[in-house]
Amino acid sequence: MELAATRSSQEMRRSDEFTHISELTHEGLPRKKAFIVIGINTAFSSRKRRDSIRQTWMPQGERLLQLEQEKGIIIRFMIGHSATSNNILDRAIDSEDSQHKDFLRLVVEFAMALQEAGCFFVVLECVLALVAAAATFALRILTIGIGVGPFCIGQVN
């Protein structure tokens, strides 16, 4: 899933969810700042793929936090929950997340948090059609779907 939005620094300060993203200034003048979330769709069984991404192009640790704070760019693996609450699959992802701190879970809830933070659109890519439908009906902002079925307001095939 990929989520992206742009908003003013005043709107950023209203957000409790993303308070670590601060206003950038150039020569003392306040500037508008991009706020971008790059979500990499993943599966429970894709640990090797995630490790490969971490080792090649995804910043880790302090570099990941610095990218968020200085540039307003958040990169995370996106995953839901297993069918059975708190089973071995969920615990494995929780353990991996505690080590790397690079997961976002619950797509719809996260999209709603972005909406409350002031984003004006959400792009949903490669998520289940049911998830895209749930996000579209839950949000007051534009949802754009890429390969997610007919339930988003805007479609790209």
- Residue among 11, 96, 116, 125 flagged as catalytic: 125
**What's the number of CA atoms in the CB half-sphere (13 Å) around residue 154?**
10
27 given a catalytic annotation = no
**74 within 8 A of 68, measured Cβ to Cβ:** yes
pTM of the model: 0.57
- The answer, yes or no, to whether residue 138 has pLDDT greater than 60, is yes
Mind listing the pLDDT tens digit for each residue in 32-67? 666 787 888 888 899 999 999 999 999 998 999 888
Mind listing the pLDDT tens digit for each residue in 71-115? 888 888 888 777 676 789 889 999 999 999 898 876 777 888 889
- Rounded Cα distance, 122 and 140, in Å: 11
